[in-house]
Amino acid sequence: MSKEQFKLVPAKPYPALILEGESKKTLIVADLHIGWEVSLAEEGVHIPSQTPKLLGKLLTIIEDNKPDSLLILGDVKHAVAKIEMEEWRDVPNFFEEVLRKVGDVKVILGNHDGNLEPLLPEGVDVVSPRGLILGDVGLFHGHTWPRPEMMGCRILVIGHVHPVVTFRDPTGFRITRQVWVRAECDGRSLTRLLLKRIGAKLGKEPPKLLENLRKTRPEVTHIVIMPSFNEFLGGQAVNRRRIGREDKFREFIGPVLRSGSVNLESAEVYLLDGTFLGTIKQLRTLF
């Protein structure tokens, strides 16, 4: 049975996506990193909590788009394994305010979300880092392999990377902007690597093996990398020049982007307002 095709649209000019099905609209954001100010304070740089600004921005998007649900693609908090005092205060308050506007809130765990559950108020559902499927779209944080069933999706959406582009003008000044990245993906190749990762014996072709194991077939054609919702964080310059051919995928974090199944050189790059900047290969000349 074919999956319902969902419409995936950026919530311009914000780092957020709207995923629309026939009866439900989901707002998607990634990488809040609540409590990031603590890491700076430990280095002697003191910045007031920026969580109210993050909350205000999210509530504005909710008010503008009226979603039925909210999905956060990981890294709600900043401390990786421990819980900082500020996170004990800010994370529960953040979600209590959001729940007043959206009754259905889900969090896919990211690599910074160790021990996150005790901070979340009742009503927030926690999802495995391997993600979930909405219609024909697979969503996960990006620091680990997704569920094999996601290979039957048309599009994969991840966070984790915090993509930005960096330009240098003739006088030496550098400009950095958050971006969206949309890349073609070889679903058959990615399926083979994923099945190998979970220990499946690859005696058959990946499509047939996936169908036997998970009752689906490889359909992935594209992957979308979301910008960080927290604009105060740094990011990974996707147009950074490579050093040597062996460095082809090393600059990208996460097993899917490092797999060689994603055509990163030809990936399309867009500003938050939707302006098309070019491909990663073209933008490397401006770094």
* 87 compared with 35, residue with greater pLDDT: 35
Q: Stretch 212-218: mean pLDDT, rounded?
A: 66
* Cα–Cα distance measured from residue 98 to residue 120, given in angstroms and rounded to the nearest whole number: 12
The pLDDT tens digits for 145-200 are 999 889 999 999 999 999 999 988 778 788 899 999 999 999 989 988 888 887 66
Name every residue whose Cβ is closer than 8 Å to that of residue 163 and which is 6 or more positions away in sequence. 178, 179, 180, 181, 225, 227, 235, 236, 238, 269
Between the alpha carbon of residue 150 and those of residues 94, 115, 135, 216, 220, the distances in Å are 30, 26, 10, 9, 8
Q: Stretch 195-216: mean pLDDT, rounded?
A: 64
Domain positions in the chain: 7-286
On whether the pTM is more than 0.85, the answer is yes
pLDDT at residue 107, as a whole number: 97
Q: Stretch 128-132: mean pLDDT, rounded?
A: 95
Report how far Cα 153 is from the mean position of its chain's Cα atoms: 16
E-strand stretches of the chain = 7-10, 17-20, 25-29, 69-72, 104-108, 124-127, 132-134, 137-139, 155-158, 163-168, 174-185, 222-225, 236-237, 262-271, 276-279
Checking if the pLDDT of 201 tops 80, the result is: no
Residue 125 zone, left/alpha/beta (φ > 0; ψ -120 to 50; rest) = beta
* Cα–Cα distance measured from residue 108 to residue 115, given in angstroms and rounded to the nearest whole number: 13
| Three-class DSSP category at 240 | coil
Question: Looking at residue 227, what DSSP letter applies?
Answer: P
Closest CA to 226 of 39, 91, 27, 25: 27
The proportion of the chain whose per-residue pLDDT surpasses 70, expressed as a percent, equals 82
The pLDDT tens digits for 46-82 are 577 778 899 999 999 999 999 999 999 999 987 644 5
210 band by pLDDT with thresholds 50, 70 and 90: low
* 192 compared with 120, residue with greater pLDDT: 120
